[in-house]
Chain A
């Protein structure tokens, strides 16, 4: 007994001491586990974003741990690493997962943390903690609290493109549930045997190349180390690390490509940061004292720039900079070409520069002889000038367009029009116009009525003309929707889009058209810029789909795109141009006829033409929009899309079988066919789920659906490298058919239109009919003078017996006729409305 008393006396620590909150990490032991280990491609995540630049997650995790250790030690902590190397010539010498937690247990640490990236091969920044599988609760509740702080601090430091995970979470997930729960879930091997709280952080999104490239930089890795440190400090009621940090990215202002070999100077400390060669443009200064600083961007061959910032206690300042190189701008393309002798009098003049221009200097340096009224506009990030004559140019006239050498690029360097590499020479473009334009404009396409199938009643119309139009002739008097007999349709609106040598007109109808009814598109009297009038009135007949309509909005894009990933955040996005591809809310551009419409979503894209494959997956990640689920029967997915004529390909993607796989799986990603964006103006793009494209799923639409993404693809040699598309009103339209199939065991042996019942009727009656085979069917009602008063059915139906209801509430008493029409059969009957 005496022995034990002595023993207790020696070992007992004061409970009072334990209860006091510490002001640092002194006396605490941590085990930091750099996840993975070695260079085994199967397990250690090898990625080569650029030839010769190889990223290994095992190495990235290891370097982060090496950087974290001294930061924690400076706070008084004892820090043990499960790995002291990332070199394992014999793969079996790498510590196994069981060895890692055993190491933490054997050394009796207070806390365990494992560093990883790219959760589950995907894009969640998250923290995972061990789940007690029997109770489905955290094995160590404290790990959830610590994990939440580590999560938020990592995200604030590394500016990852990854998602913040599902909405409503703190970024902390229970491992067994995260990996599927009862459907194959498991405890993470590195957490399974811990005797103390611990967690595993998935910080960066290393599959996205801008981030992969940054992850090759040790100072970028150190940002994550700071994030983990600050999470631990805050949990322990200690202030964050006190040193200020300034970090940022330097990119080429004209193509957003990160710059190598950068040089950044920080004043007054006169510290210099030398960038690496990994195409990330990253720089970072840490351990800064509070005060005003000047950041001088001195990267060789770029225009020097500077920025003043004020560093506060514990502050982190991100100071990205777009720098202009010192290469003089050249002329890369002109329209007309030099010496053209037959330039169309209605065409526009275009001049493409090799670099972003100082537009004011170009405007001042521009002279046209002889002069004519025109408007100027810039496209492609101010590298392409469009001179748009207000009216037709005079015929058989010699013109000289001059841009003198005072025109400058955005970098301040004067024009090098002859492309010899020496700045200071201007452009002299000579051309001659051709004969008078005597050809009238023509309608080339009329979307969607050219398709000759019933259209959705909420469609808008997009008409392409063979040449530019005189905008004053584009009106609802000349371009309009009418009933099939020429009757007026209320509340229409037109919008003109002036293209290169062609014109587009959008026609909007404020209220959806009536379903199941015949209309026509009427185009007349529009003129081109030479005053030539459309040769004859163009009438395009069409019908609207029948049935009762209902709409479900997924996202109206009226306030933000917060529920959507940045384009680069999806692991499926490839071949884009650096950080220049963006998805943002835009309040200025919107479909004009929608009620209470306050904006749209703009997808600016740029492609890296040297990439091997190209795809933007603009992913709907979270929030109420993602909660919308539906079944495909009688339903179409719709979005308004403002085309840029770029011939970029567009498609929808959905998850199917959502009821079976609520978390989604790769195999459940189905896509629509591609639509080539070869138009200007708005179109309503629809997918009825009957045809599919090829992507990750099996190409068969099954079960319940949920929206996944908009997708774009560049087609080499065909699509533009840069552009901008706008999306508005992503929604579902459900058409409940007016004809309902009657359950019968046998297929009818003859066609039949049955007598309506009741008859006489007031105000509604039922009409049944039988079909012996699948065919296109119309059932219409006419008054006694032969005028159609209602189209009840106008669609393709399979063999069987059907019924449809005729509601005559708005009609007056009298005799009416109803007719069943198919390609090979017609039958008519009478009925009496008695009010």
Chain B
């Protein structure tokens, strides 16, 4: 513990007096080094952390209560954009089978019951979008036919269905809507604020932005990759990764206020590259992975 406290002290960066969010603690999650851990994310309750590896070949669950790691699946490609249901009884993911000596592939969307480990294939084809949960029902889009299977239940808040023809696909009031707030945008990493009123994303040639979910009030954020909203909705947490065209040479976690006016470096670590922040929906915590495949939880204080 002494070591961790020391590390935490080194890690906590100095922020300006005007800063209204800062990291107050850093803790390394004890997971085996046999995998390069990648893109950790909190469960809907914030109690557990789900992980994949750098090849996206598998999903693991780290129990916040027991501090143990459990493999959910090792299906190829399953770790990319998997989703856990609100009741945390199911996990949905896409797996991909590359045909040997061919450009062809087949994809399947699987729902796995986390209690009895049973699984169901709910969609298959050559070009299937990763699934999303809509009130614990799966929605999935065939990107070739553009057809989306929508559950009959309607949610009060919009849901990001994914990227379709480089644009953001939203589910609003039970209907699919293509969202293009920057006009001729080409988007990645769309994520809705906790109250569903705002959306943060990254445009390939114009950087990160926040827009109201009706497409107005666009605020440009410059580089803020892999954005994730704090549970308060006051900040978007992202990564400011720098590269030389071949390899990432630096990355820190940043916070940008929802109005886009305040940009705060949350980390300034010299020897570590913090990547892919994901905010807990229930606590002031951010889970990040590093370029070395380690996992850390950052506790922040928001004033």
Scan residues 33-52 of chain A and give those whose CB is less than 8 A from a CB of chain B: 35-37, 42-45
Name A44's closest neighbour in chain B (CB-CB): B245
B-chain residues with CB within 8 Å of residue A13 when the two chains form the complex: 106, 124-126
Report whether A3 and B222 are in contact in the complex, using a CB–CB cutoff of 8 Å: no
- Asked if A108 contacts B244 (CB within 8 A), the reply is no
**Smallest beta-carbon distance A203→chain B, Å:** 15
Asked, given contacts A3-B151, A106-B188, whether A97 binds B105 with beta carbons under 8 Å apart, the answer is no
With the chains together, A140 CA to B98 CA distance in Å?
9
Assess whether B80 is in contact with A195, with CB atoms less than 8 Å apart. yes
B284 close to chain A: CB less than 8 A: no
Instruction: Check: A98 CB closer than 8 A to any chain B CB.
Output: yes
Interface residues, chain A, with chain B CB atoms under 8 Å away: 3-4, 6-8, 10-13, 15, 18, 21-22, 25, 27-29, 35-37, 42-45, 80, 82-85, 88, 90, 92-93, 95-99, 102-103, 105-108, 110-111, 116, 132-134, 139-142, 145, 186-190, 192-193, 195-197, 232, 235-236
Q: Are A142 and B100 in contact (CB under 8 A)?
A: yes
Q: Tell me if A96 and B223 are in contact (CB < 8 A).
A: yes
7 of the cross-chain contacts (CB-CB < 8 Å) are A8-B121, A11-B128, A11-B142, A43-B243, A134-B35, A188-B247, A195-B80
Report the bound CA distance from A236 to B103 in whole Å. 6
CB distance from B251 to the nearest CB of A (A): 9
Q: Which residues of A contact B162 (CB under 8 A)?
A: 106
Contact A11 B140 (CB under 8 A): yes
Interface residues, chain B, with chain A CB atoms under 8 Å away: 34-36, 38, 54-56, 77, 80-81, 96, 98-107, 120-130, 137, 140, 142-145, 147, 149, 151-152, 162-163, 165-166, 186-189, 202, 204-207, 222-223, 225-226, 239, 241-248, 275
- By a CB distance below 8 angstroms, the chain A residues around B149 are 3, 6-7, 10-11
- Which A residues are in CB contact (< 8 Å) with B243? 43, 96-97, 189
List, in ascending order, chain A residues with CB within 8 A of B123's CB.
Answer: 7-8, 11-12
Least CB separation from B240: chain A residue: A92
Instruction: Tell me whether B36 and A133 are in contact (CB under 8 A).
Output: yes
Which 9 residue pairs of A and B lie closest in terms of their CB atoms, listed nearest first? Answer: A11-B123, A106-B163, A13-B125, A92-B223, A93-B207, A36-B245, A92-B222, A97-B243, A7-B149
**Closest Cβ of chain A: how far from B136's Cβ, in Å?**
13
Across the two chains, which residue of chain B brings its CB closest to A130? B55
Please judge, given known A-B contacts A13-B124, A93-B206, A139-B55, whether A21 and B77 are in contact too, CB under 8 Å. no
- A8 vs B225: C-alpha distance when bound (angstroms): 35
Task: Report the bound CA distance from A187 to B38 in whole Å.
Answer: 14
Contact B122–A84 (Cβ < 8 Å): no
* Closest A residue to B207 using CB positions: A93
A7-B123, A7-B140, A102-B188 are known contacts. Are A82 and B245 too (CB-CB below 8 A)?
no
In addition to A11-B149, A186-B247, 19 A-B residue pairs with Cβ atoms within 8 Å of each other are: A11-B142, A12-B123, A13-B124, A22-B103, A36-B245, A37-B245, A83-B205, A92-B207, A93-B222, A97-B248, A98-B248, A103-B204, A105-B80, A106-B187, A108-B127, A110-B103, A142-B100, A145-B101, A235-B103
Q: A11-B140, A84-B205, A95-B204 are in contact. Are A18 and B99 (CB under 8 A)?
A: yes
Chain B nearest CB from A65 CB (Å) reads: 13
Distance from A332 Cβ to chain B, minimum over Cβ atoms (Å): 49
Bound-state CA distance A438–B241 (Å) is 84
Report the separation of the CA atoms of residues A7 and B151 in the bound assembly, to the nearest whole angstrom: 10
With known contacts A42-B244, A43-B244, A96-B241, A18–B98 Cβ distance under 8 A: no
Are A10 and B226 closer than 8 Å at their CB atoms? no
User: Which residues of chain B come closer than 8 Å to A192, judged between CB atoms?
Assistant: 54
Q: Which residues of B contact A110 (CB under 8 A)?
A: 103-105
- A492 and B130 CA atoms in complex are apart in Å by 83
Closest to A42 in B: B244
Q: Who on chain B is nearest to A7 by CB?
A: B149
In the bound complex, CA of A88 to CA of B121 (Å): 44
Contact A103 B245 (CB under 8 A): no
Report the bound CA distance from A366 to B207 in whole Å. Answer: 75
How far is B152's CA from A93's CA once the two chains are assembled, in angstroms? 40
- Return the contact of B120 from the options A4, A92, A186, A187 (Cβ within 8 A): A4
Contacts of A80 in B (CB 8 A): 166, 186
CA distance A141 to B101 in the complex (A): 9
Judge whether B125 and A12 touch: CB under 8 Å: yes
Measured CB to CB, the nearest residue on chain B to A90 is B222
Given A18-B104, A92-B222, A102-B189, CB of A8 within 8 Å of CB of B205: no
Chain B residues near A12: list those with CB within 8 A.
123-125
Which chain B positions have C-beta within 8 A of A45?
A: 245
